């Protein structure tokens, strides 16, 4: 009953009921507009939407995951952000955070899915194992495969939090013993917003949820299904160490003077140049920093198959799917060596097998040399 009542509240009413002032509310609206990558002039529209729009029901499924994404989500630095997100969406089911347990929680989910059929957002955290009918991940006695199909059916949109539900993540890394797949490998008929990262930045997660809640539509997505406003740029292109890259100043090891000086980590395997994320702009822990700022190269945690593209501290060397020592350059050297060796062997063989032809040419040429006029 209480749940139904809260569903009738607008975002604004809920915030005021929580005891925040209108001033705080306006600050929050401005803050979120910035997070969502909106223009200044959109703040007013955002405020109006929050004042009038009803809370949106959310079902949050947890499959093969480490709950790191939930951890990241609830640690949005701005207390208001976390509060508002957790209070103003109607988070009807999340087995990690909800007070109910066991049959009660499952019943709450079923009730919400029935009442909000076609309207709720489905958030998925974790990959879905498919091998042996998906027995490697079961919740309440049912497989993840079964659950995702059921909960996706009535969803208005699906948001995949983290690299596992977006790409497959560590479960799907070689040799992928449980046959794990991302959500978009199973659900084809729903809009899916991928929010990859291991974990994703909390403000990015809240930003995406809020965008949908505010505007009732999914944000602009890139070719791979990620929201453009957060995944439109490479970490490399928003990195504060970029001038060192262009100047050719690199740290060669972690204990070097260059590393201390904050030189570019490109040669220590930084995946910034191939990773799309908002780390360089939004930052982590309330914008305090991000891995590169702390002296650690980016490992590309929001990229597809980043686990298989190791080792992390080397510049993209190993060929995925091949042996540990099979770097592209080593194979290249073998191919080049084989070509050169083959040419050398062929040259020797040609001198033997084509001897008659060569001798004949030379003989005739010699005769002509003897018969030159003067």
Partner 1 sequence: MKTMTYNYKRVYVWEFAVRFFHWLTVLSLIVLIVTGFIIANPPSLNLNVEAAKSYWFGYVRLIHFTFAYILIANLLFRIYWAFAGNQFANWRNFIPYTKKHWQNIFYVLKVDIFLQKDKEHKVENISIGHNALAAFSYLIMTLFFLLQVATGLALKADTSDWWFPKMFHWVIPLFGGDIATRYVHHILTWLFMAFVVIHVYLVLYHDYIEARGEASAMISGFKFVRAERIKQNIRSFVNKVKKQMKDGNIKGNIENDPE
Q: Are 64 and 178 in contact (CB under 8 A)?
A: yes
User: Cα–Cα–Cα angle for 93, 101, 187, nearest 5°?
Assistant: 35
Name the segment binding partner 1 (CB under 8 A); options: 57-65, 80-88, 279-287, 352-360.
Answer: 352-360
Residue 42 or 316: the one with the smaller Cβ distance to partner 1 is 316
User: How far apart are the C-alpha atoms of 343 and 158, rounded to whole Å?
Assistant: 57
Residue 100 or 344: the one with the smaller Cβ distance to partner 1 is 344
User: How far apart are the C-alpha atoms of 299 and 186, rounded to whole Å?
Assistant: 27
User: How far apart are the C-alpha atoms of 283 and 271, rounded to whole Å?
Assistant: 16
Q: Does 343 bind partner 1 (CB under 8 A)?
A: yes
First to last CA, the chain: 118
> Length of the chain, please?
374
List, in sequence order, the alpha helices (H) in the chain. Answer: 2-7, 11-17, 22-35, 43-52, 68-74, 79-88, 102-115, 144-153, 162-167, 202-215, 228-231, 242-247, 257-261, 328-353, 355-370
Strands 155-161 and 120-125: parallel
Name the segment binding partner 1 (CB under 8 A); options: 45-53, 55-63, 112-120, 245-253.
Answer: 245-253
Name the segment binding partner 1 (CB under 8 A); options: 107-115, 124-132, 151-159, 359-367.
Answer: 359-367
Q: Does 219 bind partner 1 (CB under 8 A)?
A: no
Q: Tally Cβ neighbours within 10 Å of residue 188.
A: 8
Q: Does 271 bind partner 1 (CB under 8 A)?
A: yes
Give the residue, chosen from 233, 277, 279, 282, that forms a contact with partner 1 under the rule CB under 8 A. 233
Q: Does 184 bind partner 1 (CB under 8 A)?
A: no
Residue 180 or 275: the one with the smaller Cβ distance to partner 1 is 275
* Residue entry with tokens 């139904």: 4
Name the segment binding partner 1 (CB under 8 A); options: 37-45, 84-92, 207-215, 365-373.
Answer: 365-373
Give the residue, chosen from 27, 228, 234, 296, that forms a contact with partner 1 under the rule CB under 8 A. 234
Shortest separation between residue 149's beta carbon and partner 1, angstroms: 25
User: How far apart are the C-alpha atoms of 104 and 138, rounded to whole Å?
Assistant: 17
Question: Using the 8-state DSSP alphabet, how is residue 266 labeled?
Answer: G
Q: Does 368 bind partner 1 (CB under 8 A)?
A: yes
Residues that bind partner 1 (CB under 8 A): 223-224, 232-234, 237, 243-250, 252, 258, 266-267, 271, 273-276, 300, 303-306, 309, 315-316, 319-320, 328-329, 331-333, 335-336, 338-340, 342-343, 346-347, 349-350, 353-354, 357-358, 361, 363-365, 367-368
């Amino acid at each position: 009953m209480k749940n139904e009542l809260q569903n009738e509240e607008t975002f604004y009413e809920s915030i005021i009921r929580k005891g925040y002032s209108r001033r705080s509310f306006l600050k929050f609206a401005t803050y979120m507009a910035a997070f969502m990558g909106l223009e200044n002039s959109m703040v007013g529209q955002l405020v109006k939407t929050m004042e009038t729009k009803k809370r949106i029901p959310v079902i949050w499924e947890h499959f093969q995951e480490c709950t790191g994404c939930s951890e990241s989500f609830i640690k949005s630095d701005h207390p208001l952000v976390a509060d508002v997100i957790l209070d103003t969406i109607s988070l009807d089911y999340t087995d990690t955070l909800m007070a109910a347990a066991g049959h009660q929680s499952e019943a709450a989910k079923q009730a919400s899915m029935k009442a909000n059929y076609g309207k709720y957002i489905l958030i998925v955290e974790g990959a879905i194992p498919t091998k042996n009918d998906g027995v490697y991940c079961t919740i309440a006695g049912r497989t993840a495969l079964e659950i995702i199909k059921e909960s996706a059916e009535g969803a208005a949109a699906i948001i995949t939090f983290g690299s596992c539900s977006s790409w497959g993540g560590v479960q799907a890394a070689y040799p992928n013993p449980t046959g794990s797949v991302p959500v978009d490998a199973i659900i084809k008929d729903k809009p899916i917003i991928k929010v990859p990262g291991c974990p994703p930045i909390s403000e990015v997660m809240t930003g995406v949820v809020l965008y949908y809640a505010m505007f009732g539509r999914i944000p602009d997505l890139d070719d791979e299904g990620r929201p453009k406003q957060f995944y439109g740029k490479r970490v490399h292109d928003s990195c504060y160490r970029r001038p060192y890259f262009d100047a050719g100043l690199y740290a060669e090891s972690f204990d070097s003077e260059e590393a201390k000086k904050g030189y570019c980590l490109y040669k220590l395997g930084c995946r910034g140049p191939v990773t799309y994320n908002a780390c360089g702009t939004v930052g982590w822990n309330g914008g305090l920093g991000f891995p590169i700022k702390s002296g650690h190269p980016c490992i590309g945690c929001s990229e597809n198959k980043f686990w298989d593209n190791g080792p992390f501290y080397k510049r993209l060397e190993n060929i995925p799917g091949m042996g540990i020592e099979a770097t592209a350059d080593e194979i290249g050297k073998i191919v080049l060596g084989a070509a050169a060796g083959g040419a050398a062997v062929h040259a020797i063989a040609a001198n033997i097998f084509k001897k008659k032809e060569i001798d004949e040419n030379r003989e005739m040429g010699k005769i002509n040399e003897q018969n030159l006029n003067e």
